[in-house]
Amino acid sequence: MKNIAILGSTGSIGTQTLDVVRANGDLRVLGLGARRNITKLEEQIREFHPLLAAVWDEKAAGDLAARIRDTDTRVVSGMDGLLELSAMEGPEILVTAIVGMLGIRPTMEAIRSGKDIALANKETLVTAGHLIMPMAKEYGVRILPVDSEHSAVFQALNGESRKEIHKLLITASGGPFRGRKRRELEKVTVADTLKHPNWVMGQKITVDSATLVNKGLEVMEARWLFDVDLDHIQVVVQPQSVIHSMVEFKDGAVMAQLGTPDMRLPIQYALYYPERRYLDGERLDFAALKELTFEEPDTETFLGLPMAVRAAREGGSMPTVFNAANELAVKKFLHQEIGFLDIYDIIGQSMERHKKTEHPDLEEILAAEQETYRWIESRW
């Protein structure tokens, strides 16, 4: 029996993690955490009977405690609650599926308590990779990637020496607006943006896919996960979303991980690594597939990728500003307060005005985030 806890259990990755739990008889959920969706969280508590439930929103936590007072699950709240869940005794692995920089401190707390991390929170490594990776090494814990692209690289490297990597090839679907030019994006709506052609994901990550910010974040994250410099990471558009990413080795060989677009596969692989388990669902039919196509990303129209690479090259606190500006811009777009292309303007202007801190500690990272939020709110 493997004990797990899930931070972000009501979101897309969290709910699919629980699908994996349902399909396997040897996973036990000891802790569940969410921001504020207590209706979904209550359902999960009644099904999985965790010892602890953590809710970021304190009022929502109080409401949840009243709803589940007939159960044995204890409810905690705020950052202290998320940290308590991350450090609780029992779980061997923490699935960090909460969206945003909210996940950094709980991830660090889980590492300190000796838990492996099934990482689905991009912001943790994007903004604090220089802190997280040495810390994981110090405490002897594994960072197991859950993103489909990073999981694909991780799988392709299984049994291979990382010293033999020549290049990481991170694939992208191109999102819902692939092939369009900037003038065609001026009037796109939230509904248009959320129509991803291949993947079922949360709203924030779906918008990030449309802007190519998501691919930029993945490049930034990959450099920390696999210790590969930015000049040896390439993004390739693979519209069918069959090849999830590839590794090119020094001898010219390329290893690719293929599969249907099903997030349960990388989730289950992380939870059971290095074991593979049966997973139900659709299988690739190569006769029906007929072709795989590839394109260069359009970095003149979709500015999220080149801006992310620029932030990564500048380093220091700049990735935090890039990430924070995008996070707030996407929120405003989803609330229909700004247009799609305004996301790029907000990110670009936030980066231009920022005075970089070279080697930020956690408090400086969080301060840069808040300062970026304040500046954006004063202008949009």
What's phi and psi for 6, nearest 5 deg? -130, 120
Q: What is the mean pLDDT of residues 9-26?
A: 96
Q: What is the mean pLDDT of residues 63-70?
A: 97
- 291 burial level (CB within 10 Å; 0-12, 13-18, 19+): exposed
> For the chain, what percentages of helix, strand and coil (3-state, to nearest 5) are there?
50, 15, 35
* Cβ-contact 221, 129 below 8 angstroms: yes
Closest to 49 measured CA to CA, from 18, 72, 79: 72
The Cα–Cα gap between 84 and 52 comes to 9
Predicted confidence band of residue 204 (pLDDT cuts 50, 70, 90): confident
Predicted confidence band of residue 200 (pLDDT cuts 50, 70, 90): low
Rg of the chain over all Cα atoms, to the nearest angstrom: 20
Specify the pLDDT at position 313: 97
Q: Whole-prediction pTM value?
A: 0.93
What is the DSSP-derived secondary structure letter of residue 101? Answer: G
Q: What is the mean pLDDT of residues 290-294?
A: 91
Specify the pLDDT at position 322: 98
The Cα–Cα gap between 97 and 113 comes to 18
* Cβ-contact 8, 103 below 8 angstroms: yes
Specify the pLDDT at position 290: 84
Predicted confidence band of residue 202 (pLDDT cuts 50, 70, 90): confident
The dihedral through the CA atoms of 128, 119, 270, 91 has a sign that is positive
Specify the pLDDT at position 196: 72
The Cα–Cα gap between 102 and 313 comes to 24
pLDDT per position as a tens digit, 136-161: 999 999 999 999 999 999 999 999 99
Q: What percent of the chain lies above the pLDDT cut of 70?
A: 99
Average model confidence (pLDDT) for the chain? 95
Specify the pLDDT at position 199: 62
Q: What percent of the chain lies above the pLDDT cut of 90?
A: 91
